[in-house]
Amino acid sequence: MPFHHLQQPSQAGFTVLEALFASAVLALGLFGSFQLSTASMAANHSQRNLDLASGLAQDLAECWQVPSAFCILQFQNSQNTSALSNEAGVQFERRWNTTSISTQGSNPRLLQNLQISVKWPNQDKFNGTSELSWQIRRASTPTWVGL
């Protein structure tokens, strides 16, 4: 006489509760990935604007060091504002101020200071703008040197 076991129905597959928990875990993972991507893109955009502002300030500082006709014309006004925009449409506002640093008994134009400020809109900040400040000094050769 053969011995037969009664076969019980197999419990293969997911229950609704297991599927719901798996979907919730997947949703949390996707939400975290989306948040990370969004934060990464915002940081990348912010860094790009900072690089552009730094380039604008450095360009002006280098132009101040070389007395070419274009640069002299640009610095005729002691405080000037120029609005510049990049391909993304961000408006940069560049201001500069040149001051002479005089020492007792010397020509005040021998030692000069240039202060550059570049501002641009930034929605991530409380006041809505970001600003980069740049400062550089230059010394001229005194006339008594004979050069």
pLDDT band at 33 (very low <50, low <70, confident <90, very high): very high
Number of C-alpha atoms within 13 angstroms, CB side, residue 124?
Answer: 13
Residue among 121, 122, 119, 120 at smallest CA distance from 43: 122
Q: Whats the size of the chain, residue-wise?
A: 147
* pLDDT for 29: 96
Q: Where are the domains of the chain?
A: 17-102+109-145
pLDDT in tens, 95-140: 888 888 877 776 767 788 889 999 998 877 777 889 999 898 888 7
Helix or strand run (H / E) with residue 25: helix 16-65
Q: Is the pTM of this model over 0.95?
A: no
pLDDT in tens, 65-76: 887 887 777 776
